[in-house]
Amino acid sequence: MYRKILLATSLSLMLAACGGDDSPSTDTPTPNPSTDTGNDTDTDTGNDTDTDTGNDTDTDTGNDTDTDTGNDTDTDTDTSTDADTDTDTDTDTDTDTGTDTDTVTATGVYKCPATVETDEDYDDSFVLNRTADRDWGVDQDLAFQLLVTDYTVSDIAAQYNAARALDSTINEKLKMPEQAEWDNMSSSAKALYLINSERCARGILPFSGIAPNLVSSAETYAAELGQTRVLTHGPDGSVEARLVAAGVNADTGGNADFTLKSESLGQHQANSNGTSYLTLHEVEARVVYDWLYDDIEDQGDGYGHREHVLLNGYEENSGESGAEGLLGFAKHVINFDQTSDGNTFKFSEAWTVMHSFDPNTSYDLSAVTAAPALMGPESQADCLSGSSFTESLDSDGNNTSTCD
């Protein structure tokens, strides 16, 4: 089946503010039965091993011109032998094997240790140093790179941890839920789990949860992108208009503190000359990865998506303490045929949209779905090379350990 995979393109785009002047660009893939023809001036014929995660504050330029595209176990053995004859002989042998696994004995779940202070202190040296991209699946085969492999949670963690190892702003490994739990998550929950894991591990406050109105707005726009097949935020004011339509108002007296950096877009594609369409697996994991770790080379100055996902400085004034901000995520998958030189190619495309904002005290949180519980470090094994495990429990016995 994998030999039938001819090409795939992926592109992501984000608007850094609530408006933009993107130049709409249409992705018109041109199949090639044996080669990836790369990036053409007017036609996106795809990257067979890369992901084009275009990133522009105001303009979608894509990757093409006019194309959218340790361990000690403290074992204390106390052998007390009291031998009574005429004298008391108390023999106490105390043996410490000196192996300590540094394993957290928390009685509660993991609780993100980020605070307002650590959030304010976050400085993204990854961006300042213009750190290079790491392509998803660069260490795997083509099928893996093109999303047509049925990934496991271990596969996802391996890709994120390989990228994290190259990022000096993070010290923890990604810990994923059990496979069955992950498989039952919604698109928004999957995206939010990954995003909050990335934020918490850097000391940034996590998002509070999923707002259904933002999910709806993301679904609507993802469907529109899939219909037009033009990856763009639209004219100035379009993003803000979508949020206002979703009931978000950052004006004086409104229900939002701000809506800065509120929309990220993505598109991933694969095609086959077989008789059926390919299934694109774990699009949510791939697009969040691309926004974070494959965001610079595609648009020159880049990093707009990463800045959106890791945006700090939210006003901590709504919902429970220790979290702030709401999001909604959606993907829309389309299938279509294209004929070239007498051959029919079957294309599968996934269009993704993430909307987010910072609610204030007047925002109605009654319909918000809480963010999925994260898994945090429990031992040195959960820390990246060069960092050290620091055990910590809060007053409720929750695990607040870190890798520093």
**Below-70 pLDDT ranges, the chain:** 1-108, 297-301
User: For residues 16 and 303, is the Cβ–Cβ distance under 8 A?
Assistant: no
Contact residues for 61 (Cβ-Cβ < 8 A; gap 6+)? 23, 25, 54, 299, 300
User: For residues 371 and 192, is the Cβ–Cβ distance under 8 A?
Assistant: yes
Strand residue runs (E) in 18-177? 76-84, 88-96
User: Half-sphere exposure (CA, 13 Å, Cβ side) for 138?
Assistant: 13
C-alpha closest to that of 162 among 144, 150, 148, 174: 174
Cα separation, 51 vs 69, whole angstroms = 10
To 10 degrees, what angle do helices 283-293 and 153-164 make? 0
- How buried is 27 (Cβ within 10 angstroms: 0-12 exposed, 13-18 middle, 19+ buried)? buried
pLDDT, position 246:
96
pLDDT digits (tens, 9 = 90+) for 45-74: 333 333 333 333 333 333 333 333 344 333
pLDDT, position 77:
38
pLDDT, position 54:
37
3-state secondary structure of 335: strand
Structure-derived torsion over alpha carbons of residues 206, 182, 373, 248, reported in degrees to the nearest 10: 40
Cα separation, 261 vs 255, whole angstroms = 17
- How buried is 85 (Cβ within 10 angstroms: 0-12 exposed, 13-18 middle, 19+ buried)? exposed
3-state DSSP helix/strand/coil % of the chain, to nearest 5: 25, 25, 55
Tokens in use for 31?
């199949």
3-state secondary structure of 4: helix
Cα separation, 9 vs 272, whole angstroms = 13
Q: Kindly give the pairing relationship between strand 88-96 and strand 76-84.
A: antiparallel
3-state secondary structure of 145: helix
Cα separation, 84 vs 201, whole angstroms = 58
pLDDT, position 301:
65
To 10 degrees, what angle do helices 283-293 and 187-200 make? 30
- Bridge partners of 350, per DSSP, are 268, 333
* Type of residue found at 345: F
